[in-house]
Amino acid sequence: MDRVDISIVVPLLNEEESLPELCSWIKRVCEEKAFSYEIILVDDGSTDKSWEVILDIKEKDSNVRGIKFRRNYGKSAALNVGFEAATGDIVITMDADLQDSPEEIPELYRMVMEDNYDLVSGWKKKRHDPISKTVPSKFFNAFTRRMSGIKLHDFNCGLKAYKNEVVKNIEVYGEMHRYIPVIAKWEGFTKIGEKVVQHQARKYGSSKFTGLKRAINGFLDIISISFIGRFGKAPMHFFGLLGTFLFFMGFVVALYIGGVKIYRLSNQMQTTLVTDNPYFYIALTIIILGTMLFLVGFLAELINQNNPRRSQYKVESRI
């Protein structure tokens, strides 16, 4: 197989109007710089004519490949499948809606090839989106920056460039495409750069990410991401420690209650039933909780051992 300089991975959901324009623009830029390239269009279960449009583009341009999901799995799933398919030395991801400009490709390519970045993230410094998106984004970025220690302004930019080995070593699912730099860092790809990129207002169609659900899912994902990053490989370090600690506390209290009872009995002092003592129930609860946490940790370790792959998406066709 021929070597490919750049794989451009484009996740898309109902973007029929934008696709022809996007592909011919990418083609123009890549041919100008004499890059060998492939465009991998991942149709994330579109219900419009996107797939027909892709078949049509493919007909005219053999650099285009297409993957079609049976249903909508989300942007992360689409990216993940695109990453698996990518053969280029450098992989560039881009939204399908023409908000990201293909003109950025050559410089992103240069930064990865020459400046040796593992990952370069776009920064939509001047952003053309409604305020309902830009304000939550500011909070999200500040939070993710603090949590991850990665100094990026715009984690969720669709336009990013990677060394091939980076995308082959990360797995994205759920809503985790927002945290790819964080995931990459945890996998040991620490040279992460940033480039200010052009951003346009959406030309056709409408945004697929709106509303409260997006914010809530994003928040839950960052909790699981930071947890997985810290304890994913050794869940027992978290659950086992907490479980043992609780069990031990409960045990000490129970021991104390029992001790007092025996002492009083042996000195013929007046005693009450152990079960009349409220602390007895607290101790009991803590012991049970501790045991359960310990078991959860143990189960998590067992699941890790068998390591089921999460990214099993039903692909309908590939071209």
Which of 4, 7, 8, 11 binds ligand UDP (CB under 6 A)? It is 11
Rounded CA separation 263/21 (Å): 86
Question: What is the per-residue DSSP string for 203-222?
Answer: -SS--S--HHHHHHHHHHHH
CB nearer ligand UDP, residue 175 or residue 290: 175
Rounded CA separation 225/35 (Å): 36
Instruction: Say if strands 315-318 and 64-69 run parallel, antiparallel, or are unpaired.
Output: antiparallel
Provide, rounded to whole angstroms, the least separation between the CB of residue 53 and Mg ion. 18
Strands in 64-69's sheet, in edge-to-edge order, are 192-196, 119-123, 160-163, 90-93, 6-12, 37-43, 64-69, 315-318
Contact between 101 and 107 (Cβ < 8 Å): no
Which of 39, 41, 86, 96 binds ligand UDP (CB under 6 A)? It is 96
Q: Does 95 bind ligand UDP (CB under 6 A)?
A: yes
The span of 55-63, 67-75, 236-244, 307-315 binding ligand UDP (CB under 6 A) equals 67-75
Q: Does 99 bind ligand UDP (CB under 6 A)?
A: yes
Question: What is the per-residue DSSP string for 236-255?
Answer: HHHHHHHHHHHHHHHHHHHH
- State both tokens at 280: 């007895």
Q: Does 209 bind ligand UDP (CB under 6 A)?
A: yes
Provide, rounded to whole angstroms, the least separation between the CB of residue 50 and ligand UDP. 9
Q: Does 13 bind ligand UDP (CB under 6 A)?
A: yes
Instruction: Return the number of other C-beta atoms located less than 10 Å from residue 266's C-beta.
Output: 8
Which of 97, 118, 175, 194 binds Mg ion (CB under 5 A)? It is 97
| Residue 75 touches which of ligand UDP, Mg ion, none (Cβ within 5-8 Å per kind) | ligand UDP
Q: Which residues pair with 120 in a beta bridge?
A: 161, 193
Q: Does 311 bind ligand UDP (CB under 6 A)?
A: no
Q: Which residue is nearest to ligand UDP (CB)?
A: 207
Q: Does 170 bind ligand UDP (CB under 6 A)?
A: no
Site for Mg ion in 56-95 (CB under 5 A): 95
Q: Does 18 bind Mg ion (CB under 5 A)?
A: no
Q: Does 208 bind ligand UDP (CB under 6 A)?
A: yes
| Residue 280 touches which of ligand UDP, Mg ion, none (Cβ within 5-8 Å per kind) | none
CA end-to-end span of the chain, whole Å? 16
User: Which among 166, 84, 78 has a CA at the least distance from the CA of 120?
Assistant: 166
Q: Which residues pair with 91 in a beta bridge?
A: 7, 162
Instruction: Return the number of other C-beta atoms located less than 10 Å from residue 96's C-beta.
Output: 28
Q: Does 100 bind ligand UDP (CB under 6 A)?
A: no
CB nearer ligand UDP, residue 209 or residue 251: 209
Q: Does 143 bind ligand UDP (CB under 6 A)?
A: no
**Binding residues for Mg ion (CB under 5 A):** 95, 97, 99
Which residue ranges make up the site for ligand UDP (CB under 6 A)?
A: 11-13, 15, 44, 72, 74-75, 78, 95-97, 99, 158, 207-209
